[in-house]
Amino acid sequence: MEKVIHSLSELEQEASSFIQSLAPSASGATLATLSGELGAGKTAFTKAVASALGVEDTVTSPTFVLEKIYLLGSEASKFRRLIHIDAYRLESGEDLSPLGFDELMKDDKNLVLLEWPEKVSDALPIPAAHLTFIAHDDGSRTITYG
């Protein structure tokens, strides 16, 4: 499925629909991978997901810290925590270990959004969703679900 997003409000609606479509896994965390070039909208989408889940903290790219964890309120009963990982600076799946990735993936109340999955694909389970983002010259974005 492909969606073209023209505005921030459309992105927020898409993020909300995305959250509604996810069903937590009984066997561990729900992993969604986000692919696309720099500036394609991966972090903007993560911010919209966080907002839809009730995160009140300022959500920023974890490019330099690699991982940010947000506790979710009771209105987000599907998940307890949102984990945002940016693997852009990683070289292989082994680099996820210091982030406690294996432990995070064991908790079925975690939603993990991982940017740049191609950098660490050797350590990833099959994701519940894989999204690809493409930025267009007119400022719109295409999100492809796979």
What pLDDT digit, counting tens, does each position of 80-136 carry? 999 999 999 999 999 999 999 999 999 999 999 999 999 999 999 999 999 999 999
Check: CB of residue 35 under 8 Å from CB of residue 55.
no
Burial per residue of 41-58, b for 16 or more beta-carbon CB atoms within 10 angstroms, e otherwise: bbbbbbbbbbebbebeee
User: Is residue 41 scored above 70 in pLDDT?
Assistant: yes
What is the pLDDT at residue 75?
56
Q: What percent of the chain has pLDDT over 70?
A: 97
User: Is residue 76 scored above 60 in pLDDT?
Assistant: no
Q: Which residues pair with 2 in a beta bridge?
A: 144
Instruction: Give the C-alpha separation, 51 to 31, whole Å.
Output: 18
Q: Does domain 2-145 have CATH number 3.40.50.300?
A: yes
Cα 88 vs. chain centroid, distance in angstroms?
Answer: 13
Domain ranges of the chain: 2-145
What is the pLDDT at residue 25?
83
The mean of the pLDDT values for the chain is 92
What pLDDT digit, counting tens, does each position of 13-27 carry? 999 999 999 988 888
